[in-house]
Structure 1
Amino acid sequence: MIISLIIRHYKIYKGLNYIPLSDGTKFSSILGENGAGKSSILESLDCFFNKKPFTDWSINFEAKAEGSSGENSPHIIPIFLIHKSKLRNSLKADQESYRNATSLSDYLWNTSDNKNIETIKEFYIHRDILKTQIDPNDYFLLLVGRKYKSNECFFGSYQNTLSFINSNPHIKYEEKELEEYFSGFYDYIISHYSYLYIPVETDVQTYTKLETQDMQRLMDKNIQIEIENAITQKTIKTINGHLDKFVEDIEGVLETYKYKGKFKNSLTMPDLVSKIIESYFSIKELNKKVPNSTKTIAVNELSSGEKRKALIDLAYSFLKKNSDRTTNLIIAIDEPESSLHISNCYEQFEKLIEIAKENHQILITTHWYGFLPIVTEGTATSINKGLDNKITTDFFSLSNFREFIKQEKERHKKAKVKGPLSIDYRIKSYNDLIQSVIISIIQDPPYNWIICEGSSEKIYFENFFQKEIMDKKLRILPVGGYEEVMKIYNYLLGPFKDSDYDKKGKIICLIDTDENRIDVDSVISNKNLYFKRLVFNKKDDSILYDVNSDLTTVTTIEDSLNSEIFIETLKFFSSENEELIPLLEEKNINKKSVYSKNALDLRDSEKDILKAFFNKNYGSNKLNFAKKYLEITDTDYLLGYDIEWVSEIKKIINS
Structure 2
Amino acid sequence: MIEWIHVKNFRSLKNFKMNFEEDITIIVGENDCGKTSILESLKIIFNKQKFEEDDISYGEKEAVIEVKIKDRSYIKQVKYEENGLLLENNCVKLSKETINNIKEELDSNTFKELNEEDQRRRLYELMDHLGINKGNMRRIDSLTNKINEKITELESNSYTSSISRIPNDYNLFFLDGKHFQNLDDHIDELYFNQIRQDIWKRDVNGETVEEIINKHLYNSTSDLERQIVDQGSIEKLKTYLPNITEIKIIPQLTQKLNIGVKVQLLEGTEIIPIEKKGDGTKRRITMALLEIRKEIDEEQLHSYIFDEPDTHLHVKAQLDLLNILWGFVRKKKQVIVTSHSPFILNSFSPKNIRLLTLNDYQTELNAVDTDEDIISTLKSLGINNTNLFFSKKILIVEGHTEEKFIPMVFEKIYGFKLQNILVKIIRGNGIDDASKLARVFRDFEFFEESYIYLLLDNDGNRKLKEFNRNLNIPKENKRELGYKEFEDTFDPLIIYIAWKKHVKLNEDAEVYKKFEKKWFYESIKLIRKACIENDLKFSTKLAEYSSDVCCVRMDKVDLGIALANIVEKDDLNPKIVYILEKLVES
Whether the TM-score (by the shorter chain) exceeds 0.5 is yes
> Structure 1 residues 286, 389: CA separation in 2 closer, same or farther (over 3 Å shift)?
same
Please say if residues 489 and 509 of structure 1, whose CA atoms lie closer than 8 Å, have aligned partners that are also in contact: no
Aligned equivalent of 1:17: 16
Aligned residues: 471
> Structure 1 residues 524, 58: CA separation in 2 closer, same or farther (over 3 Å shift)?
same
> Structure 1 residues 626, 612: CA separation in 2 closer, same or farther (over 3 Å shift)?
closer
Please say if residues 506 and 529 of structure 1, whose CA atoms lie closer than 8 Å, have aligned partners that are also in contact: no
Aligned equivalent of 1:331: 304
Match of 1:523 among 467, 475, 481: 467
Quote the sequence identity (%). 14
Aligned equivalent of 1:602: 545
C-alpha distance in 1 between matches for 2:327 and 2:205: 37
Q: Once the 2 structures are TM-superposed, how far is the Cα of residue 508 of structure 1 from its aligned partner?
A: 2.9
**Residue 82 of structure 2 is aligned to residue 148 of structure 1:** no
Greater gyration radius: 2
Aligned equivalent of 1:60: 57
Within a 5 Å distance, the mapping from 1:104-503 to structure 2 comes to 145-149=75-79, 151=89, 153=91, 180-184=157-161, 193-202=170-179, 204-208=182-186, 210=188, 215-217=191-193, 224=199, 228=202, 233=206, 278=259, 282=260, 285-288=262-265, 296-321=271-296, 323-326=297-300, 328-375=301-348, 379-386=352-359, 388-389=360-361, 391-396=363-368, 401=371, 403-405=372-374, 424-425=379-380, 427-430=382-385, 432=386, 434-437=388-391, 440=392, 448-450=393-395, 456-462=405-411, 476-477=423-424, 493-497=439-443, 503=448
C-alpha distance in 2 between matches for 1:474 and 1:51: 33
Counterpart of 2:66 in structure 1: which amino acid?
A: I
C-alpha distance in 2 between matches for 1:235 and 1:650: 51
C-alpha distance in 2 between matches for 1:216 and 1:331: 15
Counterpart of 1:477 in structure 2: which amino acid?
A: K
Counterpart of 2:324 in structure 1: which amino acid?
A: K
* Secondary structure of 1:385's aligned partner: strand
C-alpha distance in 2 between matches for 1:487 and 1:20: 45
Please say if residues 560 and 597 of structure 1, whose CA atoms lie closer than 8 Å, have aligned partners that are also in contact: no
> Structure 1 residues 76, 534: CA separation in 2 closer, same or farther (over 3 Å shift)?
farther
C-alpha distance in 1 between matches for 2:166 and 2:456: 48
Structure 1 length normalisation: TM-score?
A: 0.55
> Structure 1 residues 645, 287: CA separation in 2 closer, same or farther (over 3 Å shift)?
same
RMSD: 5.7
C-alpha distance in 1 between matches for 2:435 and 2:77: 52
C-alpha distance in 1 between matches for 2:54 and 2:434: 45
> Structure 1 residues 46, 495: CA separation in 2 closer, same or farther (over 3 Å shift)?
same
Aligned equivalent of 1:133: none
Aligned equivalent of 1:409: none
Aligned equivalent of 2:233: none
Q: Once the 2 structures are TM-superposed, how far is the Cα of residue 355 of structure 1 from its aligned partner?
A: 1.5
Q: Once the 2 structures are TM-superposed, how far is the Cα of residue 300 of structure 1 from its aligned partner?
A: 3.3
Q: Once the 2 structures are TM-superposed, how far is the Cα of residue 341 of structure 1 from its aligned partner?
A: 2.9
**Residue 33 of structure 2 is aligned to residue 36 of structure 1:** yes
1:446-476 Cα distance to aligned partner (Å, 9 max, x none)? xx4426776653121356789xx9xxx9754
Please say if residues 485 and 510 of structure 1, whose CA atoms lie closer than 8 Å, have aligned partners that are also in contact: no
Aligned equivalent of 2:570: 636
Q: Once the 2 structures are TM-superposed, how far is the Cα of residue 192 of structure 1 from its aligned partner?
A: 5.5
> Structure 1 residues 52, 422: CA separation in 2 closer, same or farther (over 3 Å shift)?
closer
Aligned equivalent of 2:450: 505
Deviates more, 1:38-47 or 1:453-462: 453-462
C-alpha distance in 1 between matches for 2:373 and 2:429: 15
Q: Once the 2 structures are TM-superposed, how far is the Cα of residue 336 of structure 1 from its aligned partner?
A: 0.7
C-alpha distance in 2 between matches for 1:487 and 1:218: 58
> Structure 1 residues 475, 298: CA separation in 2 closer, same or farther (over 3 Å shift)?
same
* Secondary structure of 1:372's aligned partner: helix
Counterpart of 1:503 in structure 2: which amino acid?
A: E
**Consecutive unaligned residues in structure 1, runs of 5 or more:** 69-73, 88-100, 102-142, 156-175, 248-256, 407-420, 441-447, 545-554, 616-620
Structure 2 length normalisation: TM-score?
A: 0.61
Please say if residues 12 and 60 of structure 1, whose CA atoms lie closer than 8 Å, have aligned partners that are also in contact: yes
C-alpha distance in 1 between matches for 2:412 and 2:194: 34
Q: Once the 2 structures are TM-superposed, how far is the Cα of residue 204 of structure 1 from its aligned partner?
A: 1.9
> Structure 1 residues 372, 294: CA separation in 2 closer, same or farther (over 3 Å shift)?
farther
